[in-house]
Amino acid sequence: MKVCVVGAGAIGGLTGAWLARAGHDVCLVARGAHLEALRRNGLTLLAQEKREVFALRASGEPADFGVQDAVFICLKAYSIAAMLPRLKTLVGADTMVIPAINGLPWWYFFKEVGRFDGTTVDCLDPAGELFAALDPKHILGCVVHGAAEVREPGVVKHTAGRLFIIGEPDRARSARAEQLAAAMNAAGFEARLAPDIRVEIWTKLIGNLSYNPVAALALAHMNDINGNEALLGLIRVLIQEAMRVAEAYGVRVPMTVDERIGVAKELAGAKISMHQDVEKRRPLETDAIVGAVVELARKAGIATPMIDAVYALIAERAKHL
């Protein structure tokens, strides 16, 4: 396949490296010192004791590359609005666009079928500009269960997990989704097709919504949080509230609170994304991970007092970065 990874940072770098290793024609969209290092030294992937270097085309301009078979969007949620209109030259009639992103995606209500079908999530796409910039028929939903870090410009460290869950927004089992999953599995991913990608979105989101702001506020690694009973008590309440919101939108998360905490424990000592962003003084994905759930809770009339409190704290923390 011809594949472009837009946002070749931690998860994006990992995605590009694995696909390139399998022989796919991979190009990378990046910026700043990371882009300079990619051009100068290639993409370096660290995994356990192994070091691999991939000489891949890299640019800050998507227009430098032609139409692709697949485009992976691995950006922070707050960067998507500015980038999406610039992807037009990458997207042909049959191009798959896979937003491998954190939080509730802007396209969530596309072919959702419920009472909000076709509407936007106001805090993510208030004017509907994202829907206008990319025809959502190209989108394949994606949920990533894995962790990586950019150790230095051009160098990505894989720290945990390789599960990528793929699914059509309309819940169909499509040939394109099957082909993509097969290619990813052959490249070393653990790719799985989901009958309903929104179940997978919420299953991950209830963990992100709880662990990410706590990690960012406490500057705690995953094993620090999981070893602290007081913090785990907070995590449990946040997950419970988020699960009630999901159920109001017809999604029942197929695990208990403690089972979801067990999934998070598999990340061991990982420094998760919002913690990394605070340390590097970058903007936070506050709305995609927490604010969107607050918005959906209000629309559905669900009380989420602890999520509201954590949202107020992490939104204020973000202002001071």
- How many helices and strands in the chain, by DSSP H and E? 13, 10
Helices 197-218 and 257-265 pack at an angle, to 10 degrees, of 70
> Annotated catalytic residue: which of 50, 76, 157, 204?
204
74's CB contacts (< 8 A; 6+ apart) are 5, 6, 7, 8, 9, 11, 12, 15, 100, 101
Q: How far apart are CA 209 and CA 219, in angstroms?
A: 15
Q: Are 74 and 15 spatial neighbours (Cβ–Cβ below 8 Å)?
A: yes
Annotated active-site residue 204? The verdict is: yes
**SS3 track for 235-280:** HHHHHHHHHHHHHHCCCCCCCCHHHHHHHHHCCCCCCCHHHHHHHC
Residues 273, 75: contact at Cβ < 8 Å?
A: no
Query: Which residues sit opposite 155 in a β-bridge?
Result: 44, 152
- Within 8 A by CB and 6+ apart from 289, the residues are 77, 102, 103, 104, 205, 208, 209, 212, 213, 274
Secondary structure (3-state) at 58: strand
Tell me the catalytic residues: 204
